Amino acid sequence: MKSDKISEFTTNRLSVYLRCLNKLAAAGETSISSESFALRFDLNSAQIRKDLANFGDFGVRGLGYPIDTLRENLIKILGLDRERHVGIIGAGRLGMALTDYYGLRRANFTVSALFDADPGKIGKKIGQVVILDIKDFSAAVKKYNIDVAVIAVPSSAAQIALQMVKQSGIKAVLNFAPVPLKSGPDIKVNSIDLTTSLENLSYFLAKSDDAKEG
């Protein structure tokens, strides 16, 4: 184990590995080789061995990786063994859809509150989760021990929302607004940019069109 500086490519793959291991465990499998594991993704087996070797010697030469202990190790490495509290900023369609998104629960993330500026929304509930006034954000962060913020507001409001998040002391942010945010050090902002994904598909299709036409 020599975890210097782990790349995001690596940790993202660990997340994928874990989901696959969960399935294998449920199917009663007890061990797997890097080679047959790699076949389940579009990966080279050395990639998998290297990824895992960053965190420990989990494998057994001649046999492969024991599934149960590898699962437990990945859960610890990814921090999925502790509960996280999430505050979602923006109670639009996206914010509401995320509120009872099962993937959050599976990652041990609990949505503690939704926030919005619209007086017509404040006080309403999405399932168990209440919509609070955005003005009470900092207070709610302390009250509910919120450690992850989700930015689900229009692009024009995203930078201000991030500013508020930073001031509240939160260190981890998931951003859905399709704008480059100035974050700064010591805080992690993961952006999910639907617009870029769509335009990337558009580029691919346009390229194919052009190839056909000449």
List of residues contacting DNA (CB under 7 A): 7-10, 32-35, 43-47, 49-50, 52-53, 57-65
Residue 64 partner contact from DNA, a second copy, none using kind-dependent CB cut-offs of 5 to 8 Å: DNA
Residue 207 partner contact from DNA, a second copy, none using kind-dependent CB cut-offs of 5 to 8 Å: a second copy
Contact range with a second copy by CB under 8 A, out of 63-71, 137-145, 161-169, 189-197:
189-197
Nearest CA among 93, 132, 92 for reference residue 112: 132
User: Using an 8 Å Cβ cutoff, are 139 and 114 in contact?
Assistant: no
Least Å from the CB of residue 73 to DNA = 11
Rounded (10°) CA dihedral 64, 67, 71, 77: -10
Report d(CA 164, CA 10) in Å as an integer.
31
SS3 53: helix
Q: What separation in angstroms does the CA of 160 have from each of 93, 167, 181?
A: 20, 11, 10
Q: Which amino acid is at 89?
A: I
- The binder of a second copy chosen from 25, 53, 78, 130 (CB under 8 A): 78
User: Using an 8 Å Cβ cutoff, are 15 and 9 in contact?
Assistant: no
Contacting a second copy within 141-180 (CB under 8 A):
147-148, 171-174, 178-180
What tokens were used for 89? Answer: 């900023």
Under the criterion CB under 8 A, does residue 82 sit at the interface with a second copy?
yes
The footprint of a second copy (CB under 8 A) covers 8, 11-12, 14-16, 18-20, 40-42, 76-80, 82, 84, 93-94, 96-97, 100-101, 103-104, 106-109, 147-148, 171-174, 178-180, 188, 190, 192-209
